[in-house]
Amino acid sequence: MIILPAIDLKDGKCVRLFQGDYATAEQVAEDPVKTAQSFEEQGARWVHLVDLDGAKARRPVNDSTVFSIRDNVSMNIEVGGGIRDMDTVEYYLSHGINRIILGSAALHSPEFVREAVKKYGKKIAVGIDALKGKVAAEGWTAQSEVDYLEMAKRMEGIGVRYLIVTDIYKDGTMNGPNLVMLDKVNRAVSCNIIASGGVSNLKDIVDLNALGVYGAIAGKSIYTKALDLTAAITASQRLSGKSFKCSEEEEDHLERYFKKSELIPCIVQEASTNEVLMLAYMNRESMAKTLETGYTWFYSRSRQTLWNKGATSGHTQKVISMYADCDDDTLLVKVVQTGAACHTGSHSCFYKEIARN
Strand 215-218 to 192-196 pairing: parallel
| Rounded Cα distance, 54 and 127, in Å | 15
Q: Count other C-beta atoms under 10 Å from residue 334's C-beta.
A: 18
Task: Considering the candidates 51, 53, 63, 129, report the single residue annotated as catalytic.
Answer: 129
CA geometry: angle 113, 180, 39, nearest 5 deg = 65
Which residue among the candidates 8, 171, 204, 207 is catalytic per the annotation?
8
Q: How far apart are CA 211 and CA 197, in angstroms?
A: 15
Angle at 184 between CA 285 and CA 125, to 5 degrees: 45
3-state secondary structure of 48: strand
Contacts of 330 (CB under 8 A, 6+ apart): 264, 265, 266, 267, 324
Q: Note if 85 is an active site residue.
A: no
> Under DSSP, is residue 16 helix (H, G, I), strand (E, B) or coil?
strand
Residues across the chain: 357
Terminal-residue alpha carbon distance, the chain? 48
Whose CA is closest to 122, among 103, 106, 98, 104?
98
Answer yes or no: are the C-beta atoms of 74 and 85 closer than 8 Å: no
User: No. of H helices and E strands in the chain?
Assistant: 13, 18
Q: Which residues are catalytic?
A: 8, 129
